[in-house]
Amino acid sequence: MSKAKNIFKKILIWRYKHISERQFIYVLSILVGFLAGIGTLILKNLTSFFQTILEGKFIKDIHHSLYFIFPIIGLILVYYIKKRFIKKEIGHGISTTLHAISKRSGIIEKYKIYASLITAPITVGFGGSVGLQGPAVSTGAALGSTVSQLFHMNSKTRMLLIGCATAGAMSSMFKAPVAAIIFAVEIFSLDLAFASLVPLLLASVSAVVTSYFFFENDALLGFELKDIFQIKDIFYYVLLGFGTGLASVYFSKIYFGITSFFKPFKKPIHRLIIGGIAIGLMLYFLPPLYGEGYGLINNLLEGNTQEALKDLPYQIDFKNVWIVISFLLLITLFKAIAMTTTFAAGGIGGIFIPTLVMGSAIGNVLAKIINQLGGNISESNFTLIGMTGLMAGVLHAPLTAIFLIAEITGGYDLFVPLMLVAAISYAVTKYFISNSIYTVELAKRGELITHNKDKNVLMMMKIDKLIETNFKSTHPDTLLGTMLKTSVANSNRNIFPVINEDSQFLGIVLLDDIRPIMFDSEMYDKVTVETFMRSAPAVIFHNDSVEKVMEKFKQSDAWNLPVVKNQKYIGFISKSKLLTAYRKKLIEVTS
């Protein structure tokens, strides 16, 4: 082991001597893209393996009631793996990655490299109604963080490599390298400057080449544009924009509501039992909700509604369009419920693909309704653009939605309706819901990274590193003479915190307040600290964000403010140290 370490150390020394920092970042971005691509391929292959076994001739020859049983089995297996082997929280891929960037300087635990690789394919392969994009991002981000730590890169580069890994995961999943870069910039708020653009490009290309090498031209969405955009349909696209916007609000509200419903159940096994039964029942009555749902999307794009709904256990007259519309609406309504219930029951997956499924169904339904009422529009185009609307609204990522759908389908001729629907859907959703499913919890805690550099820097700073403890405390009943000997004489500060026997903060004494009598020895035994004690201009609580600390300094116009944790005094923060730390972090983040 020591020999391997010595060899690696020599490699690092050689690198420092012969390869510049920028060139090495390029090399690492290619490596990270390749690893993210491999991780995504493993996810897809494992999931496909389970689906081939469970959804093949075996399940059809027995009974469709296995749609009820398999998701519960999958959730039990995931629960067992998490409890016995991983023994740590996995979390949702994109949300946990955003938290790692904002509060942990891009440090992601190594176990997240394999945690999602194991549990997500079981969840989805056994019928859980979630996607693989979130787990792919989680795996890629953990790989990017680990590589950056291995080669001792700074936090700025570490965050860039996490973005590269995210772009790589997206690029490999959908074979859409341009949309992957936009996704990394839009979701993770990376700076689209030359210094970051080239690594993102290299990582995205590296991942997509890896995907092509193993799967050639096999694509998840294999649709090619057939019908062109016609200006006469513009009003219908406006309707689609508003429809997908309202559907995005519904999707998000359902997610928040079901998540809140399951919160009181503290034990995972209780959530598993209730959620497992619920998801099993939904899949029993609506089998198209089973798994990710790419089959439904592709069949709707091809206009093959009968094939899309073939697993329904009902006698359906597919010539009756209104019956078909009714079932597609049911799938639309229950996809969000099934997805969130899968999460609540302990399943591991992402929300990216479910938004595409729901969006395709909404777009197809609207087109069918318009055509039934005398219109003549392209169902495939509306199915396609419906996905854009849901993605733009639910994920709050309109640019990603536009370029992803255009890139994976060759639908660049639909840029006008793509942009129109994405803009309307995003605006409608943003009006009702200010943060996406990915970011709502982070925003509540003030930990959401954005394109605002000042806020990002403040958010990345840690309050513990700002606290100074070399202030001499005193008690309210201490005599002036005793305070001068024990506190003033042994301190180079001009402020003294006053605390009680339980270390609870009571107030402060300023050196200026006692200076008029501090040399009058007659007063030493006559007055106590309480005589001179005053309230602090403001108090900083240990759980305050650094942005809030900065605001308290601004409002109080103080140079030093006490810090309290659980009502107990722990130290002071000085304005000078706060500003110095801010300048250092700003240079680190923006250099």
Question: Residue 559 gets which letter from DSSP?
Answer: S
Tell me: the pLDDT tens digits for 204-251?
999 988 888 876 555 566 666 777 778 888 999 999 999 999 999 999
Same domain assignment for residues 426 and 361? yes
360: which 2 tokens? Answer: 């395709």
Residue 63 has pLDDT above 60, yes or no: no
Alpha-carbon torsion angle 299, 300, 304, 307, nearest 10? 50
Residue 194 has pLDDT above 60, yes or no: no
CA distance 421 to 408: 18
CA distance 258 to 344: 8
In Å, how far are 451, 453, 546, 548 from 582, measured between CA atoms? Answer: 17, 11, 10, 14
Same domain assignment for residues 205 and 98? yes
Please check whether residue 499 lies inside any domain of the structure. yes
Given the structure tokens 């060139």, which residue do they identify? 23
Q: Is 315 exposed, middle or buried (0-12, 13-18, 19+ CB in 10 A)?
A: exposed
Q: 438, 98 in Cβ contact below 8 A? A: yes
Please check whether residue 223 lies inside any domain of the structure. no
546/425: higher pLDDT: 425
Residue 396 has pLDDT above 90, yes or no: no
Of 455, 465, 393, 464, nearest to 428 by C-alpha is 393
Please check whether residue 221 lies inside any domain of the structure. no
Same domain assignment for residues 485 and 386? no
Tell me: the pLDDT tens digits for 97-131?
777 776 677 788 888 888 888 999 999 988 888 88
Residue ending a domain, among 399, 425, 451, is 451
Tell me: the pLDDT tens digits for 250-272?
999 999 899 889 988 888 888 89
Same domain assignment for residues 439 and 498? no
Percent share of the chain, pLDDT over 70: 89
Q: What is the CATH number of the domain that holds 239?
A: 1.10.3080.10
Residue ending a domain, among 153, 180, 215, is 215
Same domain assignment for residues 409 and 551? no
CA distance 485 to 501: 20
Q: Tell me, what amino acid is at 170?
A: M
- What pTM did the predictor assign? 0.78
Per-residue three-class SS string for 482-539: HHHHHCHHHCCCCEEEEECCCCEEEEEEEHHHHHHHCCCHHHCCCCEHHHHCECCCCC
Please check whether residue 294 lies inside any domain of the structure. yes
Domain span holding position 262: 231-451
Alpha-carbon torsion angle 207, 212, 218, 220, nearest 10? 10
Q: What is the CATH number of the domain that holds 490?
A: 3.10.580.10
pLDDT value for 588? 65
Same domain assignment for residues 201 and 263? no
Once rounded to an integer, what is the mean pLDDT over residues 562-584?
86
pLDDT value for 450? 56
Please check whether residue 225 lies inside any domain of the structure. no
Please count the structural domains in the chain. Answer: 3
Same domain assignment for residues 506 and 437? no
Same domain assignment for residues 306 and 278? yes
| Helix, strand, coil percentages for the chain (3-state, nearest 5) | 70, 5, 25
Q: 516, 532 in Cβ contact below 8 A? A: no
Once rounded to an integer, what is the mean pLDDT over residues 460-474?
83
Q: 421, 267 in Cβ contact below 8 A? A: no
Same domain assignment for residues 166 and 261? no
Instruction: Please enumerate in sequence order all residues whose Cβ is within 8 A of that of 49, keeping only pairs 6 or more positions apart, or say none.
Output: 121, 125
Please check whether residue 413 lies inside any domain of the structure. yes
Same domain assignment for residues 398 and 533? no
Residue 92 has pLDDT above 60, yes or no: yes
Residue 1 confidence class, pLDDT cut points 50, 70, 90: low
Same domain assignment for residues 554 and 486? yes
187: which 2 tokens? Answer: 């979701």
pLDDT value for 369? 93
pLDDT value for 303? 82
Residue 452 confidence class, pLDDT cut points 50, 70, 90: low
CA distance 379 to 370: 10
pLDDT value for 445? 57
Instruction: Please enumerate in sequence order all residues whose Cβ is within 8 A of that of 118, keeping only pairs 6 or more positions apart, or say none.
Output: 81, 86
Residue 287 confidence class, pLDDT cut points 50, 70, 90: confident
Please check whether residue 220 lies inside any domain of the structure. no
CA distance 116 to 39: 10
Out of 416-430, 447-461, 467-481, 530-544, least confident range: 447-461
Residue ending a domain, among 165, 190, 215, is 215
pLDDT value for 285? 87
CA distance 489 to 532: 17
Same domain assignment for residues 447 and 583? no
Average pLDDT taken over every residue of the chain:
83
413: which 2 tokens? Answer: 């001729």
Residue 195 has pLDDT above 70, yes or no: no
DSSP three-state, residue 461: coil
